Amino acid sequence: MNDEAGSALSETQRILRARARALARPVDDAPLVESTVEVLEFSLAHERYAVEVSYVTGVEPLRNLTPLPCTPPFVVGIVNVRGRLLPVLDLKKFFDLPEEGLADLHAVILVSNKDIEFGLLADIINGVRSIPLASLQPELPTLTDIGTEYLKGVTPERLVVLDVARIMADPKIIVDEDIGD
């Protein structure tokens, strides 16, 4: 074997060893699992909205709604849910959306955090789904009349994801009014 053949063989071995090391190396650039948020999708005034499932404690059909005096117009009343009286908010009135009359298809989405619990009136419950967080875009001014302070974002399919934490933190929803004699 001459020197040229030996050097070509050692060069081939060197290349093959380098390739083997590269292939045996642990993969650091594995695709990241896309972060998603699970939401409950519902219809409201012919638009699609969603709230994070982490705030949802249940969904109930709208039954036996009792109006409450001395409350803002968006508080449509209270319902008895398994022995608990919960206020029900009409997001159409809260966000100044077009209104339709109440129908049998209405449901109450029960939401809570450690401090507060109430119901959100929905026209129709569409179901639960996961949304990639990267797909949420800031609200477009022409898309919805809801203020950006109440939005997590909007998906490319025009699903408006509401920020329940901000709605719960809004001082407007806390009714603390005394009725005079």
Spell out the long-range contacts of 66-69 with Cβ–Cβ below 8 A and sequence spacing 24 or more: 69/179
Q: How far apart are CA 169 and CA 181, in angstroms?
A: 31
Contact 66, 165 (CB under 8 A): no
Q: Is-above-0.85 flag for pTM?
A: no
- 106's enclosing H/E stretch is none
> In CATH, what number does 36-173 get?
2.40.50.180
Q: How far apart are CA 85 and CA 25, in angstroms?
A: 61
The tens digit of pLDDT for each residue in 18-55 reads: 877 777 766 655 455 569 999 999 998 788 999 999 99
Mean pLDDT of the region 139-168: 80
Q: In the prediction, which pLDDT does 70 show? A: 84
Task: Enter the DSSP assignment of 114.
Answer: S
The tens digit of pLDDT for each residue in 110-139 reads: 999 988 999 999 989 999 999 998 888 876
Q: In the prediction, which pLDDT does 176 show? A: 60
Annotated domain spans of the chain: 36-173
Q: In the prediction, which pLDDT does 112 show? A: 94
Burial class (CB in 10 A: 0-12, 13-18, 19+), 120: buried
Mean pLDDT of the region 80-101: 84
Mean pLDDT of the chain: 82
